[in-house]
Amino acid sequence: DGMGALESGPATQGGIATFHPRAVFLTGIAAGFEDSKAVVRLGDLMIPCGIVNYDLAKIKADGVEHRGIAWAVSESLWQTAATTAGDADQPWLAMMTVPRPDGLEPPKIHVTADSVLGCGEKVVAAEEAEVRKWLLATYPRQILGLEMESGAAQRACRFFDTPFLVVKASVDKATVEKDDRWRAYTCRSEEHTSELQSHHDL
């Protein structure tokens, strides 16, 4: 019905209570940080080890004191994702029916062992945004990007003790720059990668 924690948290909790799944995969689109050491380009896939809440903070007279820390996703699901990403044949790529907008090489899957993804309720669309700068300064090597749903979905999974994994495709850079051509491409790429993971023997 919408985006952000107010939608993803209850939806995940309701889904788990109704269907009792073995695991939960959260897929979708996000902003990737090309200016981080991870160098996430448009179209790349991000499968982080941890989720960091960039909204959890104390507002003080001299600035913002962030209190978000990384909460780990399921280790077994993440290892499965790493195995899928390491498949030299890349069968998920053969399923793509939408051409890459820039015509360049296939997307990279970012699935390094200490990577994190920022999550919060604020839409970030400025290179100099305070939360964007904080994520890059605090996690210069690990940060992949940011989005708005994974944190609440992860909390719901922790409540039910249900393994959780997030797979997001980079559709923008969390700056004023936007290119809607990437939306269709990235939606298909994360969908096919998740399909392959869901068929893997967990």
CA dihedral 158, 160, 165, 166 (to 10 degrees): -80
Residue position matching structure tokens 């077994």: 76
The pLDDT assigned to 33 comes to: 97
Assess contact for 171 and 28: CB atoms under 8 A.
no
Report how far residue 22's alpha carbon sits from residue 189's, in angstroms, rounded to the nearest whole number: 23
Q: How confident is the model at residue 3 (pLDDT cuts 50, 70, 90)?
A: confident
Tokens of 137: 């300064």
Average pLDDT over residues 78-107: 78
pLDDT in tens, 155-195: 999 999 999 999 999 999 999 887 666 666 666 555 555 55
- pLDDT grade, residue 202 (50/70/90)? very low
